[in-house]
Amino acid sequence: MKIKLLSLLILLFSIKAFSQSDYVMGNISNENGDKLPNTSIVNLRTDQVVISDFMGNFVIAAKASDELRIARQGYERKNVTLNSENFSKSLDVKLSIIPVEIEEVKIAFRPTGILRKDVARLNPPPKVVALNSAMNLYMKTPPNGVTPTATVPSSFRQPNFSAGQLDMMKLGSAIGGLIGKATQSPKTTANYSEKQEFYKRVKAVVNLDYYTSYGLDEYDFDIFLAYADESQGLSKNYRNNFNKVAIESQLKVAFAEYIKTHNFSKKVSEG
């Protein structure tokens, strides 16, 4: 019985001695409950510094009435004055995040709602407009100097095997042109029988209604055809190379001049 009583007294003495320990245990977290490792805890009386572990826990030697300073980057610094209760239970400290001040944004332009005034204020200054105009004009101006061109140095240039030789394609084309001219028969003035044959062929293929509408009969058209032949060289150019379209075109050109000196309207009214 005495042994049990002695053991109980020793246990009570140990508990009391532990409760009066000179060490404070605690935990550091933020306002959201997140644990804060690497937080500095300083005893301002002894200048002892400890760092919280990865779970925010720390142990530091202290006495009642000592002041602890808790600091961590990005958080507001906090001072805690110890009392007797801090030696019997964990000292839980919550740090507040330092608010970040956003630079004030000043609105230089406040629209009035009146389109004429707002547009005038949005227009750039005259100096800016003049500078932009001058820059645009400069960019459009062609360069005065000679533009450099990339060339291969002569020492690295491939030999030109065609230098000093004739271009066979061009030579063949030139010879062909000379042969064609030589084989073509020269244009000569038609004789009487050739002209008569040519006139008959023209009258057979040309639409004479165009001319009769102006009052020409067959006899008048024969006279006009002889006139057109002399002025346009029809028989000379087309008796051996008859071209209906070209002949009709040149006949109308000649007729436009012919009717300036020949009036057939009176003949139509009399008919």
pTM attached to this predicted model: 0.34
Asked, for residue 78, whether it belongs to a domain, the answer is: yes
Q: In the chain, pLDDT over 90 holds for what percent of residues?
A: 28
Compute the mean pLDDT over every residue in the chain, rounded to the nearest whole number. Answer: 78
Per-residue pLDDT tens for 221-253?
889 889 988 988 888 889 888 998 999 898 889
Asked, for residue 223, whether it belongs to a domain, the answer is: yes
Structure tokens at 130: 């003049």
- Residue-wise over 112-141: b if at least 16 C-beta within 10 A, else e? eeeeeeeeeeeeeeeeeeeeeeeeeeeeee
Asked, for residue 100, whether it belongs to a domain, the answer is: no
Single residue among 79, 95, 111 that ends a domain in this structure: 95
pLDDT of residue 17: 46
Calpha distance 248→203 (Å, rounded):
11
Q: How far is CA 141 from CA 130, 145, 186, in A?
A: 17, 12, 56
Domain that holds residue 197: 192-270
- 22: confidence class by pLDDT, cuts 50, 70, 90: confident
Structure tokens at 197: 């044959």
pLDDT of residue 2: 47
Highest mean pLDDT out of 165-169, 174-178, 259-263: 259-263
Q: Say which residue, 11 or 159, is predicted with more confidence.
A: 159
Give, as one character, the DSSP assignment of residue 154. Answer: G
Single residue among 74, 95, 116 that ends a domain in this structure: 95
Q: What is the C-alpha radius of gyration for the chain, rounded to an integer number of angstroms?
A: 59
Asked, for residue 34, whether it belongs to a domain, the answer is: yes
Calpha distance 65→83 (Å, rounded):
6
